[in-house]
Amino acid sequence: EATAPLLEVNGIEVIYNHVILVLKGVSLTVPEGGIVALLGGNGAGKTTTLRAVSNLLAGERGEVSKGQIRLRGERIERLSPSALVQRGVVQVMEGRHCFAHLSIEENLLAGAYTRSDRGEVAANLEKVYRYFPRLKTRRTSQAAYTSGGEQQMCAIGRALMASPRLVLLDEPSMGLAPQIVEEVFSIVKDLNDKEGVTFLLAEQNTGMALRFADYGYILENGRVVMDGTAASLAGNQDVKEFYLGMG
Ligand code: ATP
């Protein structure tokens, strides 16, 4: 359908190990070209929501037991992670997960594994280096010896090598100094503005996420308890008190 949003999650429930109900009916919409933030504390269900979309639950003994997930109107719950990559959906996992023994450039090239056109891959690599000049400087360095910020950039850069339309970004700020978080978020915003890449990002850093996102959903205990434009959430008294520490 021409009018279908890029991503639509409708009433999903997720269980782990056949019994533990972790998502209890989560619905959300990500419009094409948006930056949408999934907010909430530890264990609220943010990572699980992203894994449900990218179909990475199976490795965690989890499954979507109810609800639907649609990409431009097409049901995707049964598509494999690689089929999703082919359709432009790529996840950047929490904790960065660069291949420690490979160089930054080898890590980036690993992200292009589904693509065969060498010229396109080379052009894409140059594009990633334009957005992440730090990665170009560090291209021959073994990932293990780069900083946390560089590893996060490498993980995002690797995802971009698949030419995604939708990037699922899990806790990009984790373990990074505020200045580096700012740098990473600015690049995300730039990629969104200039390349039209859509982002669904999970963040515990509510303040930072609301500065860069258009729209946000707050999860508590596996349910969406509030949603709204980033500006309206940032101005909401409960959000200020419970998530921004401005009570
Ligand atoms: P965090 O920021 O800590 O990752 P989160 O909001 O992303 O928090 P989830 O990681 O989605 O939350 O976890 C939601 C709930 O699911 C938690 O209670 C967690 O203990 C549980 N959970 C997560 N992964 C598994 C798993 N593989 N098996 C069983 N339970 C899990």
pLDDT digits (tens, 9 = 90+) for 161-212: 999 999 999 999 998 999 999 999 999 999 999 999 999 999 999 999 999 9
172 Cα: distance to centroid of ligand 1 (angstroms):
17
pTM of this prediction? Answer: 0.94
CA dihedral 199, 203, 206, 207 (to 10 degrees): -60
22 Cα: distance to centroid of ligand 1 (angstroms):
7
Whether 115 has a pLDDT exceeding 80, the answer reads: no
**CA atoms within 13 A of residue 138's CA, in its CB half-sphere:** 24
Q: For residue 44, which atom of ligand 1 is closest to its CA? A: 6
Q: Is 20 in the pocket of ligand 1 (CB under 6 A)?
A: yes
Ligand 1: which residue has its CA nearest to atom 2?
A: 42
pLDDT reported for residue 154: 96
Distance CA 180, CA 186 (A): 10
- Compute φ and ψ for 168, nearest 5 degrees: -100, 115
pLDDT digits (tens, 9 = 90+) for 68-104: 999 999 999 999 988 999 999 999 988 767 899 999 9
Q: Is 168 in the pocket of ligand 1 (CB under 6 A)?
A: no
Sequence-distant (6+) residues with CB within 8 A of 204 are 39, 40, 41, 42, 171, 173, 174
Q: Respond yes or no on whether ipTM tops 0.85.
A: yes
